[in-house]
Every structure is written in structure tokens, then in C-alpha cells.
Amino acid sequence: MSDEKGPKGDLPGPDIPGVEESAEFAANMATVMQHAQEIWARMAEAGARDERPHHPDPMNVAPVFTELTKEMLNNPRELAEKSLELWGQQAELWRRTMMGWMGAEEAEPLAEPERGDKRFADREWSENQVFNYMKQAYLLSSRWTQDLAHNIGQMPERDRRKLDFHMRNVVEAMSPSNFAATNPEVLRATIAEKGANLVRGAEALSRDIARGKGKLLISQTDMNAFKVGENMALTEGAVIWQDNVLQLIQYAPKTKTVWSRPLLFVPPWINKYYVLDLNPKKSMMQWLVEQGHQVFIISWVNPGPEQKGETWDSYMTAIMTALDKVREETGQSQVNIGSYCIGATMTAVMLAHMARTGDERVASATMFTGQMEFSSAGDLQALVDEKTLEIVDEQMEEGYLPADTMASAFNMLRSSDLIWSYVVQNYMLGKDPFPFDLLYWNADSTAMPAKVHHFYLDRFYQNNALAKGELVVHGGKVDVADIRIPVYHLASREDHIAPAASVYRAAKLLVNAKNRFVVAGSGHIAGVVNPPALGKYQHWVRDDMDAPDIETWLENAKEVPGSWWPDWDRWLKRRSGKKIPAPTPGAKLGVIEPAPGSYVKVRFDEK
């Protein structure tokens, strides 16, 4: 190939390749086609074996797009004005591109990627006139499409949010960076390697299809680089009790004396608990025992047919039984409780139930990204309506929702980062995914018990029953306003799963509790798992919750550099009793097995 450059870029020119190069490229393309045939055959075979119901529209997207079409037809003037606006932008882009091609003008771009958008990081997207035009044309069109879907006509707010979510996924899927023929980095690699990158990509795709048992299960990291109990979830401790749905882990103290009142942590069962114990440098569990706390944590089972009969009430009962086991092991009458995400939602319901029945076993509660008010509860809400609930129920005929379904749903929340970037890197560029512990955890998906999952989606996301005072557990309605203990609430400012505004509304429901509200920088995971030693991000504190909404609260909040963990530690220690000699895990209940236990090691893609 010659070194001739394309229009203001570094892609090779149109020289005819030599015979040897052509032969090697042809051989590689033949190998790619062979892999493609094998992949299609494997997927077809898996589809034939899969007896679960299949729906052409499993997300129930068609109705909102039909509604959008009606609004466009009912508002022809607005549609015409917006269309003329787009045509004008595209015409101006073409004019500037042609002038730049002829060297007559160096114009400012009409559209630039958002900050943090990595799709167009390759310099060809800016320096090559062809790719620069494709990039800007896409950005103008995609933004116009999303703006039109969001603003035209009159639609119910819930339908509009659902439309926004799915339209974003559509335009992200159509990015020119996702196609080999329009991605300069892929073209450059294909030319330089004579298609060997596509061979490696096809082999990686074949492995991911095999790992997903006929479905595409994208590898976001090196799945062989980590193993729970060997280089993850390493905080020393023991499983001291278990039942059908959980193992109770007690961590070994790291100090000679500990605070007498223990902390029991309730993680979400949608994901595995070891996000809080990834490795010694990032581990919240390790840090807590180093501060002198007696720490226990629940490790939820990865559900299968054995959990078919489990319900929201039975899961809540399991937590209350774990409370008793912690009290029995420590000899303390009261326990501090910590919780995260859906674990915090269930903890709030449990505390409201305990308040109604006069149960005083819990002295204080901490809730990370805990939602109780679901009127606007983040991107996941776009996936829930009456029709999708029916479809999910059909998928759960065996008594649980398969883990791959949960993984797909969470990947859709950030499809550009969690789907398309890996399609390009893994399957087009043929690169091996980088080893990253958080992404390994993210891929270590869990199933969901059918009745628990249906109750959560229907009563919370669909009907907002807790906030309305209509939620019934253990035979009676519960009201979080009955909670009167000290509660520490944490929201993450960039959280797309449990938005900070939703968490703030939830905290304000606890009108009789002694609340402390803190906002962390970053998102749902990084905002929570932020060890002080890393010196990352910041947090905001304020001594009251008088503001009507999160935006007003933040206006008068104090911004503090670094992790919020020390603030929580100070708050928790004031509610943790006195210092006592450090105990040995399982001294009273006995030891079943060392931490992290066996429940957390069950992987859905290894069954």
C-alpha cells in the first residue's frame, strides 16, 4: 500500500494491493465467513432449544413510537419547522465541508461530541473531511431526533420518558462508529492487518456466543483474570449462618477493640455483594473493620428453581432472622443496619413494618442510593409497564428471571459504553478486553426470584405503592413516616439508576426520623465505592433537609473534597456503643465456611 493520505487524514489512498496482500486478505475474509456460519448455526440451535416465550417487542416499545407518529401527524407545522431547521443545518454542514475540502475555509464545527463521548476520539473523525462530515451529520441528526421525540405534541410524562430512553438507544445504535465501513480506526486496522483483526473479532464473538449458550454475552473484561475468593472478596471472615436465600458473613476484626453495637449490611440481590469488597484497596468492608466496627454482611443466593416460592415477605423475614443471628452472636440487643440500592428499599419497608409492630431491634439505619418514592425513579422505569410485566412473568415460568435477562437490561442503561464500545473493540478491532475488577463484577449477573421481582416492579416502579401508603407486607400496610430512628441517606449526584432527586424525595418521606442526607460525586457505583485513600471525587453535606428538592438543597450545601466515608464513620461511631475486646467470628454460632462463602461463587454462565 502507498503512503498517500486521504482528504486531510492518515487513511491510506486507493493504491491497488499486491498479490500476496490480496491473497492474505481474502484468506482472512474466508475465515471470518466460516466463523460467521458457525455462529449463526449455534444461535439457531440455541433458539430452537429455548422453550421460553419469544416476543417481537419484549420491551413494549411499539406503542410509544406509534404515539410519537400520531403527535407528528397532529402537529404538522411544528414538524415542518423542525424539519426545515435540520435541513438548514445539514445544508450548512455540506457547504462548510466542501469549502474545507477545497481548502477555502477552516470553519468551526457545527456539532461536537459531548464531553466524555469516546466514540469519536480517533483523530480521523476531526482531521479527515469525510469522517468529520459523517460525525457531524450523525450528531446533528441524532440530536434533532431526540429533541423532536422529547418535545413534539403532548404525551403523558411516563410515555415521554420511555420514548426518550428507547430513542436514545436507537440513535446510539446508529452511530457511524459502530460500523466497520464507517469507522476509521477499524478501516485502518483492517488495512494494516489485512483483515486479521476481523478474524480475531469473529473468534471472540464465537466465544461470547458459546459462553452465552447461544446468546450474545459480550465480554466487557478478561473473564479469566479474576476469581471470587482468590483476588476479589478477600476481607477475612466466616459464614456463621445460612438458609435458603442468604449466607451471613461475619468479618474478622482488625483492631484489638471494637465498637460494641454491630453493623449488619444488606446489599442488593440484583447484584452480588462483593462490589463492596472488590479488593483490599477498594473494599468498604475492609475499611469498616479497620475503623473498629463489628461488621456482618448478607450474601444473597443466586436464585434457581429452589427459590421458586420465595416472596418479598420471605426475603424480608430472612433479613430479620439475620438480625437475630447477629444479636445472638454479639450478645447485643440492638444492631445498626446498612443497605444499598434495592437492599435499602427493602430495609426501609422492613423498618416501617418494625415500627408498626413496636420492634426495636434496629438502632440506626444507613441507606445508600435507596429509593422509596418511584414517581421518577431513573432509567429502569422506562422498562416497566403493564405489558412488559406480563412478558417478564412469562419469562419467569420456572420461578426465577434468568441472569442474562437482568444483564441485558442493565447494559441497555448505558448502551454506548456497555454494548457498542465492546462491539467495536472486541469484534471489529479484535482487541482483548482490559482486565477490570468492576466490570467483572458487573458481568457476574444474578437471577431474580419470580415473585420477589414481580412484587418489586409492580408495587414500586409501576404503582409507587410505598410512597402512597398502599404497600402491604406481612398482612398490614406500612408507612415509612413511622420510622423514628437515626437514618443516614446517601445519594450519588450522577446516578442514572437511583437519581439523586429520587433519593432525596425518599428521605423526605421519613418525616419522623433523625435524618442526615449526603450527596456523593459520581454515579451509582463509583459514588458509593470511593475509598478515602484514592482522593477521588467530592461530597456535599448539609445539616438539614428543609429544601423542597435536591437542587435547592445543593445550593446551600457544603462541598467537601474526597470520600464521604469518614463523614459516615463519624456518624456511625456515635451510634455504636462502647469499645469492647475484639471477638472471633463464629465464636457462638460456629463457622460454616470461610468468607466469602459459597453462595457468591455461583455464576450463571458456568451452570
Question: How far from each other are the two terminal CA atoms of the chain, in whole angstroms?
Answer: 49
| Three cell numbers, residue 546 | 428543609
Q: What is residue 520's predicted lDDT score, i.e. its pLDDT?
A: 98
Alpha-carbon span 527 to 549, nearest angstrom: 20
C-alpha angle with apex 222: 217 to 223, nearest 5 degrees? 60
Q: What is residue 53's predicted lDDT score, i.e. its pLDDT?
A: 62
| Three cell numbers, residue 256 | 484489638
Alpha-carbon span 598 to 601, nearest angstrom: 5
Q: Pick the closest to residue 388 from 398, 378, 401, 377 (CA basis).
A: 401
Residues 6+ apart with CB under 8 A from 465: 459, 471
Q: Pick the closest to residue 373 from 487, 504, 259 (CA basis).
A: 504
Q: What is residue 547's predicted lDDT score, i.e. its pLDDT?
A: 96
Question: Burial of 229 by CB count in 10 Å (0-12 exposed, 13-18 middle, 19+ buried)?
Answer: middle
Alpha helices in 152-278 (DSSP H): 157-173, 184-193, 196-211
Q: What is residue 1's predicted lDDT score, i.e. its pLDDT?
A: 38
Question: 540 pairs with which residues across the strands?
Answer: 519, 559
Q: What is the dihedral of CA 387, 393, 396, 402, to 10 degrees?
A: 30
User: What is the side-by-side strand order in the sheet with 486-492?
Assistant: 558-561, 538-542, 514-520, 486-492, 362-368, 335-340, 263-266, 295-300, 246-251, 237-242, 593-594
Could you tell me the mean pLDDT of each successive run of 10 residues in the chain, 607 residues long?
50 53 81 82 72 71 92 93 94 88 77 92 93 96 95 91 92 95 95 93 91 86 93 97 97 98 96 95 97 98 92 97 98 98 97 97 97 88 81 79 77 85 95 93 90 93 94 96 98 94 97 97 95 95 96 96 98 97 97 98 80
Asked if residue 105 lies in contact with residue 96, where contact means CB atoms within 8 angstroms, the answer is yes
Residues 6+ apart with CB under 8 A from 199: 28, 31, 32, 35, 430
Q: What is residue 515's predicted lDDT score, i.e. its pLDDT?
A: 97
The catalytic residue positions are 341
Q: What is residue 12's predicted lDDT score, i.e. its pLDDT?
A: 52
Residues 6+ apart with CB under 8 A from 88: none
Asked if residue 112 lies in contact with residue 138, where contact means CB atoms within 8 angstroms, the answer is no
Phi, psi values for residue 251, rounded to 5° = -85, 145
Q: What is residue 292's predicted lDDT score, i.e. its pLDDT?
A: 98
Q: What is residue 14's predicted lDDT score, i.e. its pLDDT?
A: 44
Q: What is residue 607's predicted lDDT score, i.e. its pLDDT?
A: 62
Q: What is residue 52's predicted lDDT score, i.e. its pLDDT?
A: 63
Residues 6+ apart with CB under 8 A from 21: 1, 194
Asked if residue 228 lies in contact with residue 601, where contact means CB atoms within 8 angstroms, the answer is yes
Asked if residue 272 lies in contact with residue 446, where contact means CB atoms within 8 angstroms, the answer is yes
Alpha-carbon span 503 to 577, nearest angstrom: 29
**DSSP states of 32-68:** HHHHHHHHHHHHHHHHHH--S---S-TT--HHHHHHH
Q: What is the dihedral of CA 250, 252, 255, 259, to 10 degrees?
A: 10
Alpha-carbon span 385 to 398, nearest angstrom: 22
| Three cell numbers, residue 266 | 444488606
Asked if residue 399 lies in contact with residue 308, where contact means CB atoms within 8 angstroms, the answer is yes
The 8-class DSSP code of residue 310 comes to: -
Question: Burial of 13 by CB count in 10 Å (0-12 exposed, 13-18 middle, 19+ buried)?
Answer: exposed
Number of H helices, E strands in the chain: 20, 17
Q: What is residue 16's predicted lDDT score, i.e. its pLDDT?
A: 47
